């Protein structure tokens, strides 16, 4: 086991030497005109995408966080066994900063947690001050829905070609391979993996970018799946059956083939984020990372497997999974706020470990929401909304509230123009990627602010006749849903809280919302000072 050194390294300046806050790519988009789909009918508005900045690697992001007052270095000696997790939980719940633990008992590597643990830090990770900047950029890219002219359509195709331009680039060498460990030297015990909660089955890698390939097409997939450290060279691979990693594994296993896997720890923040993003199967997350960064992700070839990893990763684990081998993984204090119980999962075998000379070990701690993963989920809510509008044009807005841990609740607003349209939208969502797992979908009208949970619940209370306006379906549910009687199989509820039409079984007139008239609002506004009331 490596010995601890008193002064773990601060991140060094980027090797490219483009200034202290090296921007690997800076680009100001021209002012462009978009017609936001969710405001159909409103005048066209000019959208000027903000200047975007990509980080080259994790250490550059750490430095930017520190400069922005968003990171605290902890010099006191702390244990990777529960202590870091409890500190992270307290800080996360208090809305505190990212934490870099520089002195972890028994380890040389500093441990970074909570780097994405606020909307600001999540946005910073994607190179913007506000995540809505990225949402609009994607809306613009995908503005294929109602191209108003042939020119619009051409522009769209061009923009999608632009997207594909950001495929990763293979480079000959990368800092993630500065140190190469094979044979006896190669051990998972070198990593300060965290034990997060008292009943956890062991120590887990909690922020790994797990890279696999579809054996038939060769397409790469990057997904984030926790890995339980079993011993020096093996770890559990906790990919849920509904996720692409599991799908790629099944393709190997069905053919009786051993599967090669590469795991990257660290990398630039966009590359870490995309491993959590629910892209359709067979879409390489690294292209999406390139798009988000406005720059290619550079990848290097692994040394013992035929895979590539982001060259700027902090640490890389190379290995394989046998088609039939399974081992009990868990329990694990999960992001639902409950323990997920132990179950059989495939086993990753380590063949080689490479890392930077002075690696930072990235981790996250999940538990009762809100925690760091919730901000990553919120980024997904924003970035994927424009994509959903391509398939569900009446969709106005979406709130996946943090307390719903992304598969329990979706609050959806729609522009309703025909009977049972809310139901059509529910079924569409239950048919779309990971949204298929949503346990409760609440649909409201376009004028309701779905981000205001009180308002949504007020409309549910007021607008729903439970017998008429709810629908219960059966289907696949999240692996982590412990309320489902059978794992992965259960029921889901849709609640239609829109104004009802007569064809929907509501022959009575629907009342108007209580609202003041414009003349009185204006009168009161003008006379406000006279009243002497301070608000
Ligand atoms: C911190 C964190 C931990 C996660 N852990 C797991 C996990 O252990 N297993 C899993 O299947 N998904 C996990 N996820 C969710 C997946 O990363 C996410 O659904 C992703 O879209 C899967 O990618 P894929 O569709 O390419 O497989 C986790 C997400 C986050 C943010
Ligand atoms: Mn995927």
**Three-state SS for 489?**
strand
Average pLDDT, the chain: 89
The reply to whether 89 belongs to the active site is: no
- Kindly name the residue from 200, 334, 373, 478 that is annotated as catalytic: 334
CA dist., res. 90 & res. 99, Å (int) = 12
What strands, in cross-sheet order, belong to the sheet with 361-362?
71-74, 98-101, 111-113, 361-362
- Terminal C-alpha separation, the chain: 62
**215 phi and psi, to 5 degrees?**
-70, -20
Task: Using the atom order of ligand 1, give the atom closest to the CA of residue 434.
Answer: 19
* CA of 278 relative to ligand 2 center, distance in Å: 6
Ligand 1 and 244: CB distance under 6 A? yes
Check residue 500 and give its pLDDT. Answer: 98
Q: Which atom, in ligand 1's list, is nearest to the CA of 433?
A: 25
Spatial distance between the Cα atoms of 436 and 427, rounded to a whole number of angstroms: 9
pLDDT at 519 over 60: yes
Instruction: Determine the distance separating the centroid of ligand 2 and the alpha carbon of 243, expressed in angstroms.
Output: 7
Spatial separation of the C-alpha atoms in residues 378 and 128, rounded to whole Å: 15
Tens digit of each residue's pLDDT (9 = 90 or more) over 305-324: 999 999 999 999 999 999 99
- So what's the pLDDT on residue 9? 39
Read off the pLDDT of each residue in 87-97 and give the average, rounded to a whole number.
Answer: 98
Token code pair at residue 358 = 């002075």
Cβ of 195 below 6 Å from ligand 1: no
pLDDT the model gives residue 48? 42
Please tell me the predicted confidence (pLDDT) of residue 218: 96
Pocket test for ligand 1, best of 88, 243, 279 (most atoms within 8 A of CB): 243
Nearest to 379 by CA among 288, 447, 448: 288
CA atoms within 13 A on the CB side of 224: 21
Give yes or no for residue 125 CB within 6 A of ligand 1. no
CA distance 315 to 317: 7
CA gap 367, 86 in Å, rounded: 10
Which pLDDT belongs to residue 32? 28
**Ligand with the closest atom to the CA of 194:** 1
Q: Any idea what the Cα angle at residue 24 is, between residues 226 and 289, rounded to 5°? A: 35
Distance 365 CA to ligand 1 centre (A): 14
What residues have CB less than 8 Å from 108, skipping those under 6 apart? 2, 3, 4, 5, 8
Give the pLDDT of residue 324: 98
In sequence order, which residues have a C-beta less than 8 Å from that of residue 345 and are 6 or more positions away? 236, 237, 238, 239, 326, 327, 329
239 C-beta closer than 6 A to ligand 1 = yes
Ligand 1 atom 31: residue of nearest CA: 373
* pLDDT value of residue 64: 97
Query: Which ligand has the nearest atom to the CA of 243?
Result: 1
Statement: residue 24 has pLDDT above 70:
no
| Percent of the chain clearing pLDDT 90 (strictly above) | 82
Separation of CA 223 and ligand 1 centre (Å): 6
b/e map 4-23, b = 16+ CB within 10 Å: eeeebbebeebeeeeeeebb
At 206 the pLDDT is 98
Question: What confidence category does residue 298 fall into, taking pLDDT thresholds of 50, 70 and 90?
Answer: very high
Give 386-427 pLDDT, tens digit per residue.
989 988 999 999 999 999 999 999 999 999 999 999 999 999
Phi and psi at 467, nearest 5°, equal -70, -40
**pLDDT per residue as tens digits for the range 120-168:** 999 999 999 999 999 988 888 776 544 455 566 556 656 676 677 789 9
For atom 22 of ligand 1, the residue with the nearest CA is: 223
Task: Find out whether the beta carbon of 330 lies less than 6 Å from any atom of ligand 1.
Answer: no
Which ligand is in closest contact with the Cα of 277? 1
| pLDDT score at 137 | 86
Task: Give the rounded distance of the alpha carbon of 500 from its chain centre.
Answer: 35
- Smallest Cα–Cα separation from 70: which of 101, 112, 115? 115
Least distant ligand from the CA of 205: 1
**Calpha distance 320→348 (Å, rounded):** 6
Mean pLDDT of 78-106: 98
Give how far the C-alpha of residue 386 lies from the chain's centroid of Cα atoms, to the nearest Å. 16
Kindly give the number of the ligand 1 atom that is closest to the alpha carbon of 373. Answer: 31
Q: What angle do CA 65, 101, 349 make, to 5 degrees?
A: 105
Whether cis (ω within 30° of 0) applies to the bond prior to 69 is no
The predicted structure's pLDDT at residue 47: 35
| Banded pLDDT at 31 (limits 50, 70, 90) | very low
Q: Cis before residue 449, ω within 30 degrees of 0?
A: no
Residue 148 has what pLDDT? 54
* Pocket of ligand 1 contains residue 166 by CB under 6 Å: no
Is residue 63's pLDDT more than 90?
Answer: yes
Q: Are 353 and 232 in contact (CB under 8 A)?
A: no
The two three-digit tokens of residue 194, written as one number? 């965290």
pLDDT, average across residues 432-459: 98
Residue 48 sits at φ, ψ, to 5 deg, of -110, 105
Cβ(364) – ligand 1 distance below 6 Å = yes
The pLDDT of 531-535, averaged and rounded, is 95
In angstroms, the Cα distances linking 505 to 143, 424, 493, 500, 509 are: 36, 16, 19, 8, 11
pLDDT in tens, 239-297: 999 999 999 999 999 999 999 999 999 999 999 999 999 998 888 999 999 999 999 99
| pLDDT in the model for residue 54 | 86
* Predicted local confidence at residue 419, as pLDDT: 98
Label the pairing between strands 45-47 and 32-34: antiparallel
């Amino acid at each position: 086991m490596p010995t601890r050194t008193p002064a773990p390294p601060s991140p060094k300046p980027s090797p490219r030497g483009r200034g202290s806050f090296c921007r690997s790519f800076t680009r100001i988009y021209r002012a462009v005109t978009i017609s936001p789909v969710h405001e159909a009918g409103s005048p066209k508005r000019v959208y000027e995408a903000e200047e975007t900045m990509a980080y080259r690697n994790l250490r550059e992001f750490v430095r930017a966080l520190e400069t922005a007052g968003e990171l605290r270095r902890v010099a006191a000696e702390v244990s990777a066994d529960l202590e870091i997790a409890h500190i992270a939980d307290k800080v996360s719940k208090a809305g505190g900063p990212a934490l870099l633990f520089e002195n972890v008992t028994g380890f040389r590597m500093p441990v970074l947690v909570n780097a994405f643990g606020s909307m600001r830090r999540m946005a910073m990770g994607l190179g913007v001050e506000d995540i809505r900047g990225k949402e609009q950029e994607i809306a613009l890219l995908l503005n294929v829905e109602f191209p108003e002219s042939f020119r619009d359509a051409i522009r769209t195709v061009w923009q999608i070609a632009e997207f594909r331009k950001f495929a990763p680039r293979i480079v000959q060498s990368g800092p993630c391979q500065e140190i190469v460990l094979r044979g006896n030297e190669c051990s998972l015990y070198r990593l300060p993996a965290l034990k997060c909660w008292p009943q956890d089955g062991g120590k887990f890698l909690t922020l790994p970018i797990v890279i696999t390939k579809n054996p038939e097409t060769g397409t790469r997939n990057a997904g984030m799946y926790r890995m339980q450290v079993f011993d020096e060279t093996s770890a559990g691979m906790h990919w849920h059956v509904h996720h692409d990693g599991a799908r790629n594994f099944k393709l190997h296993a069905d053919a009786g083939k051993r599967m090669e896997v590469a795991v990257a720890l660290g990398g630039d923040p966009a590359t870490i984020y995309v491993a959590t993003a629910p892209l359709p199967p067979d879409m390489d997350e690294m292209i999406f990372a390139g798009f988000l960064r406005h720059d290619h992700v550079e990848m290097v070839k692994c040394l013992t497997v035929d895979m590539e990893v982001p060259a700027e990763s902090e640490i890389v684990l190379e290995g394989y999974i046998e088609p039939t081998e399974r081992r009990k993984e868990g329990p694990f204090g999960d992001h639902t706020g409950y323990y997920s119980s132990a179950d059989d999962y495939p086993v990753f075998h380590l063949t080689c470990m490479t890392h930077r000379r002075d690696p930072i070990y990235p981790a996250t701690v999940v538990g009762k929401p809100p925690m760091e993963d919730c901000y990553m989920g919120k980024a997904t809510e924003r970035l994927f909304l424009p994509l959903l509008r391509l398939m569900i044009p009446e969709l106005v807005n979406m709130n996946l509230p943090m307390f719903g841990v992304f598969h329990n609740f979706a609050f959806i607003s729609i522009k309703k123009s025909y009977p049972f349209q809310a139901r059509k939208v529910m079924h569409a969502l239950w048919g779309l990627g990971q949204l298929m797992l949503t346990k409760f979908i609440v649909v409201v009208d376009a004028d309701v602010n779905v981000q205001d949970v009180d308002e949504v619940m007020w409309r549910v209370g007021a607008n729903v006749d439970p017998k008429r306006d709810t629908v219960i379906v059966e289907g696949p549910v999240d692996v982590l849903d412990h309320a489902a009687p059978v794992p992965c199989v259960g029921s889901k509820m849709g609640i239609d809280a829109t104004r009802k039409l007569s064809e929907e079984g509501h022959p009575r007139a629907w009342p108007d919302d209580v609202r003041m008239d414009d003349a009185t609002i204006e009168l009161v506004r003008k006379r406000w000072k006279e009243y002497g009331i301070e608000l």
